[in-house]
Amino acid sequence: MHRSDSPGGTAVPVAPDATSDVAIEAKSLSKRFGDVQANDAVSLSVQGGTVHGIVGENGAGKSTLLKMLFGFYRPDGGTLSVRGRPVTFHSPADAMAVGVGMVHQHFMLVEPFTVLENIILGVEGGRRLDRAMAAARENLHALEQRFGFDIPLDVPVAGLPVGVRQRAEILKALYRGADILILDEPTAVLTPQESDQLFALIRELKGQGKTVLFVTHKLDEIMAVTDRVTVMRAGRVVADLETVATSADALAEAMVGTRVTRAVVADETHGGAVRLSLENVSCASGSARGLHDVSFDLHDHEVLGIAGVAGNGQTELLEVITGLRAVDQGRVLFSDVEIAGPSGGTDPVALRRMGMAHVPEDRLKTGVVESMTARENIILGYQREEDVSAGGTLLKRGDIAAMADRMFAAQDVRPRNPGLPIGAFSGGNQQKIVIARELARQPALLVIGQPTRGVDIGAVTRIHDQIIALRNAGRAVLVVSADLDELIAISDRIAVMAEGRITGILPVNRAEEKTLGLMMAGRSMETAL
Binding site for ligand ATP (CB under 6 A): 33, 36, 38, 56, 58-64, 414-415, 424-429, 456
Task: Return d(Cα 506, Cα 496) in angstroms, integer.
Answer: 8
Q: Which is nearer to ligand ATP, 455 or 528 (CB)?
A: 455
Q: Which is nearer to ligand ATP, 86 or 257 (CB)?
A: 257
> Least separation, in Å, of the C-beta of 425 and ligand ATP?
5
Reported residue count of the chain is 529
The amino acid at residue 92 is: P
> Least separation, in Å, of the C-beta of 29 and ligand ATP?
12
> Least separation, in Å, of the C-beta of 414 and ligand ATP?
6
Task: Return d(Cα 89, Cα 107) in angstroms, integer.
Answer: 22
Task: Return d(Cα 33, Cα 50) in angstroms, integer.
Answer: 31
CA quadruple 70, 76, 81, 86: dihedral sign: positive
Q: Which is nearer to ligand ATP, 101 or 427 (CB)?
A: 427
> Least separation, in Å, of the C-beta of 416 and ligand ATP?
10
> Least separation, in Å, of the C-beta of 79 and ligand ATP?
20
* Of residues 120, 163, 150, the one with CA closest to residue 8: 120
Look at phi and psi of residue 78 and say left if phi exceeds 0, alpha if psi is from -120 to 50, else beta: left
Q: Which is nearer to ligand ATP, 60 or 291 (CB)?
A: 60
Q: Which is nearer to ligand ATP, 341 or 423 (CB)?
A: 423
Query: Mutual orientation of helices 129-147 and 192-207 as an angle, nearest 10°?
Result: 90
The amino acid at residue 372 is: M
> Least separation, in Å, of the C-beta of 70 and ligand ATP?
13
Structural contact between residues 21 and 13, judged by C-beta atoms closer than 8 angstroms = no
Q: Which is nearer to ligand ATP, 62 or 301 (CB)?
A: 62
> Least separation, in Å, of the C-beta of 428 and ligand ATP?
3
SS3 417: coil
DSSP label of 102: E
Q: Which is nearer to ligand ATP, 33 or 441 (CB)?
A: 33
Nearest 5 degrees, angle CA 112-CA 118-CA 120? 145
Residues near 326 by beta carbon (within 8 Å), at least 6 away in sequence = 283, 340, 344, 345
> Least separation, in Å, of the C-beta of 72 and ligand ATP?
10
Task: Return d(Cα 339, Cα 91) in angstroms, integer.
Answer: 51
Task: Return d(Cα 153, Cα 113) in angstroms, integer.
Answer: 10
> Least separation, in Å, of the C-beta of 528 and ligand ATP?
35
Task: Return d(Cα 502, Cα 2) in angstroms, integer.
Answer: 54
DSSP letters, 296-309, are EEEETTEEEEEE--
> Least separation, in Å, of the C-beta of 187 and ligand ATP?
13
Q: Which is nearer to ligand ATP, 107 or 113 (CB)?
A: 107
Q: Which is nearer to ligand ATP, 424 or 440 (CB)?
A: 424
527-to-193, 295, 506 alpha-carbon distances in Å: 22, 20, 13
Q: Which is nearer to ligand ATP, 6 or 63 (CB)?
A: 63
Quick one: CA torsion of 352, 358, 360, 365, rounded to 10 degrees?
Answer: 30
Q: How far apart are the first and last CA of the chain?
A: 55
Q: Which is nearer to ligand ATP, 172 or 414 (CB)?
A: 414
SS3 333: strand
Phi, psi angle pair for 510, to nearest 5°: -105, 0
Beta strands 389-390 and 394-395 are antiparallel
Q: Which is nearer to ligand ATP, 184 or 194 (CB)?
A: 184
> Least separation, in Å, of the C-beta of 417 and ligand ATP?
9
Query: Mutual orientation of helices 427-439 and 397-411 as an angle, nearest 10°?
Result: 120
Q: Residue 340 pairs with which residues in a beta bridge?
A: 332, 345
> Least separation, in Å, of the C-beta of 459 and ligand ATP?
9
